[in-house]
A = this chain, B = another copy of it.
Amino acid sequence: MAVTIRDVARQARVSVSTVSRALSAPGLVKEATRQRVLEVVRGLGYEPNRAARSLITGRTGNLGIVVPDLENPFYPAVLRGVQSRAHEAGCAVFFCDSRVAAEDALVRTMAAQVDGVVLCASLLDDDQVAELADTTPMVLLNRTLPGVSSVLMDSASGMAQVVEHLAELGHTDRVYLGGPEQSWSHRRRLVGLADRARRLGPFEPTFDGGVEGARQALSTGATAIIAYNDLMALGVLSHLSTRGIRVPEDISVTGFDNILYAAMCHPPLTTVAMPTEEAGRVAVDLLVDRLAGGPAECRELPTRLVPRASTGKAPMFS
């Protein structure tokens, strides 16, 4: 059997409540006793039983995060931010990839054992999200819903920067390969795009989706392809290379997210940097605030264009 609060109390010659207080309400016990207790705690290697504690407090000390696709490097980056901040806040984090099961089922399962959850780029409809948010404290990432905290990355501005960049290079015929239609990020990118590019899609926001998008884009004769995200842009690059089309001489390509590989591919990808890790940290902050009884809050983080070699002057432009 593990060492319990009673063992500590006995050895420190105090009552269990004093031990409890020494540990979780330092102000309520005399410094000398507290030290004595702490010493015994260390000596015995006592670790409070979380189950017992939660049974009373109703708190688990855990946070949950649900992401749509861990294999998109965007999410590990977010997760890293979440985890480091959660760690600072003394919380452990449960994690789920929603390809494993339905998003709402996952959140519900999680809700039972965490104090709150970070829901990333949810594709659920508003009613479903609202229902979940009603059950458990929640912060949304790249998604909004009235009354629910959220952390947003400014996709509209990012996309506007992309279009402007392309325009400056002389591209007049631009095509956008869209992501999932329910996606908030996709819709915000459309806002930034306005009517400054044709639209194709929706496509899967993956490498293969990009390959398919490139195929379709080629038949439009556009000189610039704007992909929904970097993963797709990588697929676009790959397809163009297969077809012997040069980037950026023949066609310019842009992505979104600035994942690690955007800098490593050939040619390096012009893209929009997203404050992923920061977003993860802010999400936890908002969640913690919420748990402490604060109000729902919405925070938008800036994005910025990262020009690289996949964009160049439009052909025949001087």
Contact = CB atoms under 8 A, between A and B. Distances in A.
Interface of A: 47, 49-52, 54-55, 60, 62, 70-71, 73, 76-77, 79-80, 83-84, 87, 92-97, 99-101, 109-110, 112-113, 207, 234, 237-238, 241, 260-261, 264-266
A60 B71 contact: no
A94 B93 contact: yes
Nearest to A54: B51
Nearest to A207: B264
Contacts of A234: 261, 264
A281 to B, nearest CB: 12
Contact of A95 (B84, B94, B237, B261): B94
Contacts of A52: 51, 55
B51 A60 contact: yes
A87 B54 CA distance: 23
B265 A47 contact: no
Contact of A79 (B60, B70, B264): B70
A285 to B, nearest CB: 16
Given A80-B99, A261-B261, 15 more contacts: A50-B51, A51-B52, A62-B113, A70-B79, A71-B76, A71-B260, A79-B97, A80-B97, A83-B95, A83-B100, A87-B101, A92-B96, A95-B95, A261-B264, A265-B265
28 contacts: A50-B51, A50-B113, A51-B60, A52-B55, A62-B94, A62-B113, A71-B73, A79-B95, A83-B96, A83-B97, A83-B100, A87-B100, A87-B101, A92-B94, A92-B96, A92-B109, A92-B110, A93-B94, A93-B95, A94-B95, A95-B95, A207-B264, A234-B261, A234-B264, A238-B264, A261-B264, A265-B265, A265-B266
Contacts of A47: 112
Nearest to A268: B238
Contacts of A109: 92
Most chain B CB inside 10 Å of its own CB: which residue of A49, A113, A238: A113
A106 to B, nearest CB: 9
A112 B80 contact: no
Contacts of A87: 100-101
Contacts of A62: 94, 113
Contacts of A112: 47, 50
A241 B265 CA distance: 11
A273 to B, nearest CB: 16
A263 B73 CA distance: 16
Q: Return the 8 tightest CB-CB contacts between A and B, nearest first.
A: A266-B266, A51-B54, A70-B76, A95-B95, A51-B55, A51-B51, A261-B261, A234-B264
A51 to B, nearest CB: 4
Contacts of A77: 71
Contacts of A49: 55
Nearest to A264: B234
Nearest to A59: B51
A99 B115 CA distance: 24
